[in-house]
């Protein structure tokens, strides 16, 4: 056998990689383990307890799972109003 790379039309499966959208096996296993640990820790009840006892960690978690982009109806776009606490009390 030679260690030279295949050249020409018959290259076998070289360069194909995973199909679009296919997840890495390790990523799937890690996500499955995290979900299982979450369920064993108490699920929603655990998150409620975390929010009460450690709001900083809870908010960091929320920031990771909330979508980064908010979209709305083109006819009724999403609006954001910035105001100070003083302005809000008026």
Per-residue pLDDT of the chain (90 residues; tens, 9 = 90+): 566 666 666 667 767 777 787 778 888 899 999 999 999 999 999 999 999 999 999 999 988 888 666 677 778 877 777 788 878 777
Q: Is residue 35 part of a domain?
A: yes
Q: Is residue 72 part of a domain?
A: yes
Q: Is residue 36 part of a domain?
A: yes
76: containing domain: 25-89
Give me the DSSP letters along 44-68: HHHHHHHHHH-HHHHHHHHHHHS-S
Q: Is residue 4 part of a domain?
A: no
Distance separating alpha carbons of residues 30 and 33, to the nearest angstrom: 5
Q: Is residue 81 part of a domain?
A: yes
Distance separating alpha carbons of residues 65 and 30, to the nearest angstrom: 16
Domain count, the chain: 1
Q: Is residue 6 part of a domain?
A: no
Distance separating alpha carbons of residues 33 and 27, to the nearest angstrom: 10
pTM of model > 0.85: no
């Amino acid at each position: 056998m030679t260690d030279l790379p295949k050249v020409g039309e018959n290259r076998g499966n070289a360069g194909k990689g995973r199909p679009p959208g296919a997840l890495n096996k390790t990523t799937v296993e890690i996500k499955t383990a995290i979900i299982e640990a979450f369920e064993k820790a108490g699920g929603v009840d655990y998150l409620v307890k975390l929010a009460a006892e450690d709001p900083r960690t809870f908010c960091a978690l929320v920031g990771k799972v909330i979508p980064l982009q908010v979209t709305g109806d083109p006819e009724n776009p999403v609006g954001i109003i910035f105001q100070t606490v003083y302005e809000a009390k008026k």
